[in-house]
Structure 1
């Protein structure tokens, strides 16, 4: 069982300017979500960071909220939290795969995200992983976001766009018959 193994954990980064994070949590299983948030907030506080917490209806809405905040706010990073417990239908697979995929895509677009959405077979597994005194996956997700923020600050601001942009035609002064500028 993974709970009995020991794993190396990177020391938390240090910051000259305190980071500001948004914790986005799906509190479908409220007691588990509360433990995840407690772990994440404690980790952020260890580095002198600040945070806000928002709740969304479910794990599928977590990446959408992060995407909106990444485009429209001034957060340095994000912590995605929630819990998906396998049920009797394939909905579990959809929620797990799609939320994870969307978070990964946001990260590839430059958002510094720690993914702490638990995907488990049963409630006992969720409780063990969420517990702050246990595996503390909320704290681990916050630490991941903090490490990505530190890397971003180390390398400076974006110097080039990420992804593909449609080609734009820019015209010279009105009446110019030369056509688009290459």
Structure 2
């Protein structure tokens, strides 16, 4: 059973300047979302960082909200939270694949995102994954965002130029 496995967890990163994260949550399954949020908040606060939270209608809207925030606000990283439980139609695959793909695309564009959108077969799996005292996937998503922020800060100023250089430059 996946719940009894042990995994290596990276040590919590430290920061000279406290990062600011945006938690974007789709609270379709409110009790599960609340557990994910609790785990994320606790991890962010334990790292000495700050957070804001915004709710969106569903998992498909999470990446769009993150992109809007990246264009219009000043966050160092993002925590994507929500839950998709398999139903009777192919909508499950669409929501899982498209939300994950969009978050990955934003990450490849340089955003520091921890993906805590659960994609599960049933409610019992979701409850175990969301619970802070069990798998704590909300906390894990926040930790991932914090690690990416730390990595980005480590290499700040090392951005490579892309494209052609003017003659004589």
Q: TM-score, normalised by structure 1?
A: 0.87
Q: In the alignment, which residue of structure 1 is the partner of 2:97?
A: 97
Residue 161 of structure 1: how far off its partner (Å) = 6.3
**SS of the residue 1:23 aligns to:** strand
The answer to whether structure 1 residue 34 and structure 2 residue 34 are counterparts is: yes
Q: In the alignment, which residue of structure 1 is the partner of 2:133?
A: 133
Q: In the alignment, which residue of structure 1 is the partner of 2:167?
A: none
Residue 160 of structure 1: how far off its partner (Å) = 3.8
| Pairs aligned (count) | 164
Q: In the alignment, which residue of structure 2 is the partner of 1:43?
A: 43
Residue 18 of structure 1: how far off its partner (Å) = 0.4
**SS of the residue 2:59 aligns to:** coil
CA RMSD of the aligned region, Å? 1.4
Residue 140 of structure 1: how far off its partner (Å) = 0.1
Query: 4+ residue runs of structure 1 moved beyond 4 angstroms?
Result: none
Residue 22 of structure 1: how far off its partner (Å) = 0.1
Gaps of 5+ in 1: 168-182
The answer to whether structure 1 residue 23 and structure 2 residue 55 are counterparts is: no
Residue 72 of structure 1: how far off its partner (Å) = 1.5
Structure ranking higher on relative contact order (CA contacts 8 Å, 6+ apart): 2
The answer to whether structure 1 residue 88 and structure 2 residue 104 are counterparts is: no
State which structure, 1 or 2, has the greater radius of gyration over its C-alpha atoms.
1
CA distance in 2, matches of 1:118, 1:53: 18
**SS of the residue 1:60 aligns to:** helix
Residue 158 of structure 1: how far off its partner (Å) = 6.2
Gaps of 5+ in 2: 165-169
Deviation by residue 1:70-123 (Cα, 9 ceiling, x = unmatched): 122110000000000000000000000000000000000010000000000000
Deviation by residue 1:110-155 (Cα, 9 ceiling, x = unmatched): 1000000000000000000000011000000000000000000000
CA distance in 2, matches of 1:72, 1:80: 18
